[in-house]
Chain A
Amino acid sequence: MKKPALPRQNGSAQKKSLSSLLAVVLFLVFFILALCANIIAPHDPWERFDPYLPPSVEHWLGTNDLGHDILSELIYGSRVSLLVGLGAAVLATAIGLCVGLFAGYYKGVTDEILMGITDVFLMIPRIPLIILLAAFLKPSFWIIALVIGFLWWTSTARVVRSKSLQVSEMNFVLSSKCLGFSDKHIIFTDIFPNIIQIVIPKFMLTVAAAMITEASLSFLGLGDPSMKSWGMMINFAFTKGGLINALWWWFIPPGLCIMFFVYSVVLLGYSLEEKEQAVLGIS
């Protein structure tokens, strides 16, 4: 008879390390592309050649309607994704961490108020609100990152709260209290280090969400016009006849880049997570 199997089997540990290796490699590739875009890219993304060229030796992925080299656009596009993703996630994690820590540590009224705010934020339809704000603001990518960061902290706050509720009942926290340390000291030197391992995977998932959101916004034509992002490339291909004329090299590669970059970030987040059950609980 089959025993109720333990969640983790032997084979999956090996598979896991393999896929996390893949994630690290993919992430590093995109990171280096973003960092050294000006060295790696064969052309300046704004330099004009003949328009609508198919892929060739000179232009690996052809050119777009304005004659810009698509491969170079692609390489520069990784910068926007990385900046918006990281910027938004840093802000969101910082807010979520503070809200969760304070709610979990002080409990009572503080908890009620902070979680009430979180619930309201959780219910805001985020994409429509960002579309509305972006339409008014005519955004730079910093504003996009800022807005995403201000809206994406809720799930981090919830996770951090429930963990810090647990941790703040533990003996070492109680003894710190008895020794008369200040609340601030206890929160940041006793509770915070015990929460960090659940915050990091959440951080990676937030990076992924922010990248997808940025791409979606740019696809609507709400991106930063001074920096070409992958979403914006797809927008141009979509509105300027790339799809209708079957110029697949124009809109497929940027989409694949978004997929691979997000995939590497999500996988990296998972492999940093310790518990298997949490590994598969995307939220």
Chain B
Amino acid sequence: MKKIARYLLALFIIISINFFIPRLMPGDPITNLMGEDYIVSQESIDALKAELGLDKPLLVQYVTYWGDVIRLDLGHSFHFHTEVSQIIASKLFWTTALVGLSILFGTLFGAILGALSGWGKNDPKNKTLTTFFLWIYCTPPFFLSLVVLYVFAFKIGIFPLRGFYETGTFTDIAKHFFLPVLVLSLSLASRNYMIMRGSIIQEKGKLYILYARAKGLLNRGILFRHAFKNASLPLITLVALDIGFIISGALFVEIVFSMNGMGTLIFDALLARDYPVLQGIFLIITIMVVVANFLADIVYGIIDPRVREQR
């Protein structure tokens, strides 16, 4: 219960921050709220001010804002000529697909490789793997995408150079999705690899491992039946907290691969200084992050009986 209250508080504070940003920033609040694409005469500015409620006291505006957020009314984009919530809804699916697939592959491969490398000896193979993931860790996702795009799509030409449209067939979409998912999975796997490796190295010295060995269990059996389960606990918290990072990474990957998604939306909105869209995206991503953390807490409880009993 306390956890839920904490998440609600976090959500409340972040959404409130979102309310104050355009009102506190330098410049005309009308421009800040409507985006710079929207240049109007004085009368319509006054009309807009009345419509947006900017002439009312801040508290009233704040209450109205909460009403809008709860109805998911994120305002109107003058650059795209539609409701912000509609634009985001149309992009959300593809970004979620990219993020979801990458979390799946990135966590799985990162965790398994990290576990094997932490469990085994510090031989050249493991050292090379660690160095490789360390380099990936140090590379911004957008640059990794650029290099991969340049090599595989441009030089070798086995993958398409640009994004796709929603009408494509399954193989078509898979072809367009392969490289972006690869890049994002790699950059996520690099983080998970490091955590898992460190976690397994810590578990390796514990007594229950020695006991399992004394029972005569096989080496790999001990790793995946006993050590892996305990070592993966910090990983779950980390993946949840990393959700924000992963989504941000996905935004950049989408931009480089010109994919249909929230990343390209941000890029276009930035060029037009379309603030309502930027704010809407921030809001939606916040909600996604908080929900992900909440889910991770539940999963954590299912996996770790100690936590379950506390409740």
Contact = CB atoms under 8 A, between A and B. Distances in A.
Interface of B: 6-7, 9-10, 13-14, 17, 21-22, 25-27, 32, 118, 121-122, 127, 130, 134-135, 137-143, 146-147, 149-150, 154-155, 191, 194-195, 197-199, 201-202, 204-205, 209-210, 213, 219, 238, 241, 244-245, 247-248, 251-252, 255-256, 266-267, 270-271, 273, 275, 278-279, 281-282, 285-286, 289-290, 293
Nearest to A251: B146
B154 A246 contact: yes
A246 B150 CA distance: 8
A263 B282 contact: no
Contacts, number: 171
B244 A277 contact: no
A119 B194 contact: no
A252 B205 contact: no
A179 interface: no
Interface string A5-17: 1110101100100
A266 B134 CA distance: 9
Contacts of A231: 140
Interface of A: 1-2, 4-7, 9, 11-12, 15, 116, 119-120, 122-129, 131-133, 135-137, 208, 212, 215-216, 219-222, 231, 234, 238, 243, 246, 248, 251-252, 255, 258-259, 262-263, 266-267, 276-283
29 contacts: A5-B121, A7-B201, A9-B121, A15-B127, A123-B10, A123-B241, A123-B289, A124-B286, A125-B282, A125-B289, A131-B270, A131-B278, A133-B21, A136-B21, A212-B140, A219-B252, A220-B270, A221-B271, A252-B147, A255-B143, A255-B147, A259-B143, A262-B139, A266-B134, A277-B198, A279-B198, A280-B118, A282-B195, A283-B238
Contacts of B9: 116, 120
A243 B244 contact: no
B135 A136 contact: no
Chain B CB count within 10 A is highest, among A1, A136, A281, for A136
A12 B122 contact: yes
A12 B286 CA distance: 42
Nearest to B127: A15
B14 A120 contact: yes
Contacts of A276: 201
Contacts of A220: 255, 266-267, 270
Given A208-B138, A215-B143, 16 more contacts: A12-B122, A123-B286, A124-B14, A124-B244, A124-B286, A129-B282, A136-B26, A219-B252, A220-B270, A238-B146, A246-B155, A255-B146, A259-B138, A276-B201, A280-B197, A281-B194
B10 to A, nearest CB: 4
A51 B87 CA distance: 39
B10 A119 contact: yes
B149 to A, nearest CB: 7
B136 to A, nearest CB: 10
Nearest to B274: A135
Given A116-B6, A220-B267, A127 B244 contact: yes
Contacts of A222: 270
B209 to A, nearest CB: 6
Contacts of A251: 146
Given A119-B10, A125-B282, A263-B134, A258 B143 contact: yes
A40 to B, nearest CB: 24
Given A120-B9, A255-B146, A281-B194, A136 B27 contact: yes
A123 B3 CA distance: 13
Chain B CB count within 10 A is highest, among A12, A124, A126, A234, for A124
A278 B194 CA distance: 10
A219 B146 CA distance: 11
Contacts of B255: 220
B266 A131 contact: yes
Given A123-B293, A135-B273, A136-B21, A234 B143 contact: yes
B201 A263 contact: no
A282 B293 contact: no
Given A128-B248, A276-B201, A137 B25 contact: yes
Nearest to A115: B6
